A and B are shown apart, each in its own frame.
Chain A
Amino acid sequence: MERPGYYGQFGGTFIPEILVATFDQLRAAFEGIKKDPSFWKEYQSLMSTYSCRPTPLTYSENLTRHFNGPHFYIKREDLNHTGAHKLNNVMGQGLVVQRMGKSRVIAETGAGQHGVATATMAAKFGFECTIYMGEVDMARQRPNVFWMEQLGATVVRVTDGDRILKDAINEALRDWATNMDTTHYVLGTVCGPHPYPEMVSYFQSIIGSEARDQIVRQAGRLPKRVYACVGGGSNALGIFSGFLDDTQVDSVRDPSDNHSGILRVKVSNGVELVGVEAGGEGLETRRHASRLASVHGSVGVAQGYKTYFLQDDDGQMLETHSVAAGLDYIGVSPILAAYYEQGIVRFEAATNDEVLAATRLTMKKEGIIPALESSHALACAFRETPQMSADDVILINLSGRGDKDIFTIADALGDEGWKEFITTKAEAYSA
């Protein structure tokens, strides 16, 4: 039997002694809610009255027509309150915090979505809230910083390391090691020490269970492929979890053949699960954040868990790159690392350029503004349309909406009107 908190060789609880008692408490609280039949009802009811659950499944006929099939179905996590799937996890953890009787929450954030979601939850539940955010991400996602502060959170600028998501996680862990009596750390993704990967995927599984029902009802059958972007992996595990029993893995990758790039996975008939990582400027440039889709990732232990990391021979973490702050991370969920080795999920990468093109097409064709993170899933699906027949059904998890990316998208598209607006605004401020 696998040790608790392990998924194949991945996962574990590599934490400093000072945090052991806190993790024991959290594990016990999580075990408690899993056994409590009223909890999931309470959670669902909260999500349907405070957020927009169940989120709709949209049939995208214009994209379908544009590519001459397959049939595109899009799971609309962008319609969640605060604009992304992040809220599912955060509200679930909020209920856990209430049960533990703590009064303060802290969180890391990359794109700012998890930070905004946590600040929202804290406001709703009446918790004190501190958000750690890398300086680089703060510059990329200033509007989210504004909202977090308006929602009553203190946003701490992290100036150490590469000043991105991983560094914000380190700072949050340091805060927690000092303030664990009053404070819960709302980790935003399916990474970190046990029980986070299991707990966060438990809350995000609400996406997959809804999506499976919806697609069977609306399309009349299961999808051929399910696409999701993968940073830490929480939206991907969320939607994949609904289809795990529908995959058919005929033969799996030879484990001794790790990372040779040779796939021995054959999926026939069943639903194929596709995780799309950040290809950045292209895998060959090494300026990307693809832990599994590139050959540059290797197994290591950092931030409390074992998985594939982008790191050098010495085990020092490498700088990662993506146009999407939320995918710009060194590690990947240990659960997904196990699915990768077992051949349950296929991993691909989409480059910044492909992502911007996909964003543009989706806006024009469907009237949906996808987050740059989510556009990775769209970009990969668009690229693979020639492999599918016109009758096939595919499902894409649109994990969040793109309004927050207005500065990045406007820059990338070189929009003159926007530039003029910002210049005028800046002049007005400096006058």
Chain B
Amino acid sequence: MLEDYIRQRTEERGILLMAHVVVGYPDLESSFDLVKAIVSAGVDLMELQIPFSEPIADGPVILKANQSALTAGIRVDDCFKFAHRVTQSFDIPFLFMTYCNIVFKHGEEQFFAQAKEAGIVGTIVPDIPPEEGTSYLAAAAAHGIDPIFILSPTTTPERLAYLAGFGRGFFYCVARKGITGAKTTFSSELDEFLGRCRRVTQLPLALGFGVSRKEDVDFLKGKVEVAVVGSQALRILNTNGVEAVEDFFRRLR
């Protein structure tokens, strides 16, 4: 379903935008206003990050938002309620992004049951590689939610083929080494990497890590189906507020 949505919408729009919101940062009401602003700017998909105290794959901007949300007292159950509210209010697909321990402690079965109930269609959990994800994958499949896996430029061709076997919905390709929020130079190296990804999978590709300007999105048009914007929008939120974020997304494509 996620896959079909992306294909169909890409035909209409050329390239899709996926935004990222840390639930409960700076508080739940503000998060809701942010989601509303981003949706009205025409964004096509959204990751809702359930905060975790040890987000090892995130850079300083998202890390601080995680910590701030936790300090403000956000609980996992609040995130489910929040997801339910936004999926009822807005007509785009929402995914959960979080870390293994949140899913594990909640109970994988319970986590996916509640995610389904909340209207979530996919999950991105960067510290669960398929080798460690047997029960995670089973629970996702049982509830018809797409577990999204990540492909990186350091992934060997053999491993790309292995990961392709676990693909549902789309693949999240990271543009470079490192963590979220740092600068990326978009180059022909990226083309080669995306070529390697295309050779192993028919699924749509999303590209993230360092997408921050209209030029980046233009560059990616025709190369991937989805451009993922995370830290840059959060930076704008921190300095100029929610209206500036809406404006930023309107001008991205």
Contact = CB atoms under 8 A, between A and B. Distances in A.
Interface in B17-72: 52-57, 59-60, 63-64, 67, 70
Contacts of B105: 298, 300, 311, 313-315
Interface stretch (B176-184, B198-206, B215-223, B238-246): B176-184
Given A161-B53, A314-B75, A315-B101, A14 B70 contact: no
A166 B132 contact: no
B214 interface: no
A18 B127 contact: no
Interface stretch (A65-73, A171-179, A285-293, A421-429): A171-179
B193 interface: no
Interface string A293-314: 0000010111110000101011
B128 interface: yes
A14 B132 contact: yes
Interface in B144-171: 149-152, 154-156, 159, 163
Contacts of B102: 314-315
B152 A17 contact: yes
A429 B142 CA distance: 67
A14 B127 contact: yes
A300 B67 contact: no
Contact of B131 (A13, A21, A304, A313): A13
A388 interface: no
A20 B150 CA distance: 11
A136 interface: no
Interface residues of A, number: 33
A174 B155 CA distance: 17
Most-contacted residue by chain A among B102, B129, B182 (CB, 10 A) = B129
Given A20-B154, A161-B67, A301-B100, A14 B60 contact: no
Contacts of A367: none
Contact of A17 (B52, B56, B75, B149): B149
B206 to A, nearest CB: 14
Given A17-B155, A18-B174, A177 B179 contact: yes
Contacts of A232: none
A12 interface: yes
A174 B56 contact: yes
B151 A17 contact: yes
A317 B178 contact: no
Contacts of B174: 17-18
B155 A20 contact: yes
Interface string B70-85: 1000011000000000
Contacts of B70: 316
A14 B129 contact: yes
Contacts of B177: 18, 177-180
Nearest to A23: B129
A170 interface: yes
B23 to A, nearest CB: 13
Given A20-B129, A20-B159, A316 B52 contact: yes
A13 B105 CA distance: 17
B67 A160 contact: yes
A15 interface: yes
Nearest to B100: A301
A179 to B, nearest CB: 8
A304 B55 CA distance: 11
A21 B76 CA distance: 32
A178 B178 contact: yes
A300 B129 contact: no
Contacts of B132: 12-14
Contacts of B5: none
Contacts of A14: 100, 127-129, 132
Interface string A313-329: 11111000000000000
A15 B53 contact: no
Nearest to B155: A17
B127 to A, nearest CB: 5
A304 B155 contact: no
Contact of A173 (B53, B56, B101): B56
B25 to A, nearest CB: 15
Contacts of A178: 177-179, 182
B119 interface: no
A302 B129 CA distance: 14
A301 B127 CA distance: 9
13 contacts: A14-B100, A18-B152, A20-B154, A21-B154, A160-B64, A170-B56, A174-B59, A177-B57, A178-B179, A300-B105, A301-B104, A314-B75, A315-B102
Interface of A: 12-18, 20-22, 160-161, 166, 170, 173-174, 177-180, 298, 300-304, 309, 311, 313-317
Interface of B: 52-57, 59-60, 63-64, 67, 70, 75-76, 99-102, 104-106, 126-129, 131-132, 149-152, 154-156, 159, 163, 174, 177-179, 182
Given A161-B53, A177-B57, A302-B99, 12 more contacts: A17-B129, A160-B67, A170-B55, A177-B178, A177-B179, A298-B105, A302-B54, A302-B100, A311-B105, A314-B102, A314-B106, A317-B54
